[in-house]
Chains A and B, each alone.
Chain A
Amino acid sequence: KNEVEQSPQNLTAQEGEFITINCSYSVGISALHWLQQHPGGGIVSLFMLSSGKKKHGRLIATINIQEKHSSLHITASHPRDSAVYICAVESNTGNQFYFGTGTSLTVIP
């Protein structure tokens, strides 16, 4: 069993739709990161969370430490949001990261 599970694996949405990507983890963590990877491009860190909720533009990330679950929401989705979104958790023992397999998002105009 993977330490980090993401769903869905693939997601296609119409422009303007509200999008949710989920992440569940099984290890104790000091922080959770949401990353964005564009085709052929580098990786951008969108959020680092240890509790609660953060918002940046149309992106919102939430985390529930008790339930070991986080969600990434995109409001009013746009084709430029098309990318792979990766959930990564930083273990609270041993300086280790665990990564989800990523969610491939395609937003159609």
Chain B
Amino acid sequence: DGGITQSPKYLFRKEGQNVTLSCEQNLNHDAMYWYRQDPGQGLRLIYYSQIVNDFQKGDIAEGYSVSREKKESFPLTVTSAQKNPTAFYLCASSIIGAGDTQYFGPGTRLTVL
């Protein structure tokens, strides 16, 4: 079955440690996105990538880093520089030029102790 996978569903880390969230898609989509959702708020764009080996900052990129070495994979690293890393992180992908409909993964809930 085609889709987007994010794992794990719950992730716990000590304050000050970097953590990498995985996102994999087998939909052959060119574009991939990372969003953050905080309680009572909408989605905010962290980073996006429209092609392998290229990515752009979103609205709240500070404290995060990404890579796009393969079309299928777009891992997000939450660094120790991120002031409030505890949040729900959603990955999405889309076909460029097809109405920008985005398909979302199940999300990873990151909690920093």
Contacts and interface: CB of A to CB of B under 8 A. Distances in A.
Contacts, number: 25
B113 A86 contact: yes
Nearest to B11: A45
Q: For the complex, would chain B's binding face be called helix, strand, loop or mixed by DSSP majority?
A: strand
B16 to A, nearest CB: 11
Interface string A18-41: 000000000000000101010000
A94 B113 CA distance: 18
Interface in A85-99: 86, 88, 94-97, 99
Given A94-B39, A95-B39, A95-B88, A45 B10 contact: yes
Nearest to B86: A97
Q: How large is the interface on B (under 10, 10 to 19, 20 to 34, 35 or more residues)?
A: 10 to 19
A37 B14 contact: yes
Contacts of B53: none
A48 interface: yes
A50 to B, nearest CB: 13
Interface residues of A, number: 14
A99 B113 contact: yes
A18 B52 CA distance: 52
A42 interface: yes
Nearest to A97: B111
A54 to B, nearest CB: 14
Nearest to A95: B39
Interface of A: 33, 35, 37, 42-43, 45, 48, 86, 88, 94-97, 99
Interface of B: 8, 10-14, 17, 39, 88, 111, 113
